[in-house]
Amino acid sequence: MTRIMPMTDTSNRFLRLNAVLDKTGLSRATLYRKIQEGTFPKQITIGARCVAWLESDVEEWMCNPMCYNADQQVHATLASRSWAEARLRSKSAG
């Protein structure tokens, strides 16, 4: 059995839409257009009608928003997303 240890890094928190909009200063339409274009991190489904973004993904985008390419960042954030999905599964099971 794999035991999931809580991470102490607060940048792996889930951010909901309004928090992402506040943090980035983007409008909702611009945010979703950038996601579709691959120039902003994709959201993670955390419930039937609920999505969020990893704070670390948003912060990475904020470091260089003009050159961010979601396709190039997939391997860099795969571990973070796996951790987030495992966290969700463990919370729903427990």
DSSP string, the chain: -PPPPPP--GGG-EE-HHHHHHHH---HHHHHHHHHHTSSPPPEEEETTEEEEEHHHHHHHHH-TTT--HHHHHHHHHHHHHHHHHHHHHHHH-
Mean pLDDT calculated for residue range 9-22 = 87
- Is residue 76 situated within a structural domain? yes
- Is residue 7 situated within a structural domain? no
The pTM of the full predicted model, rounded to 2 decimals, is: 0.68
- Is residue 28 situated within a structural domain? yes
- Is residue 33 situated within a structural domain? yes
Q: Identify the top-confidence range among 34-48, 63-77, 80-94.
A: 34-48
Mean pLDDT calculated for residue range 6-27 = 84
**What is the domain count for the chain?**
1
- Residue-number span of the structural domain to which 81 is assigned: 13-93
pLDDT tens digits, one per residue of 56-69: 999 999 999 998 88
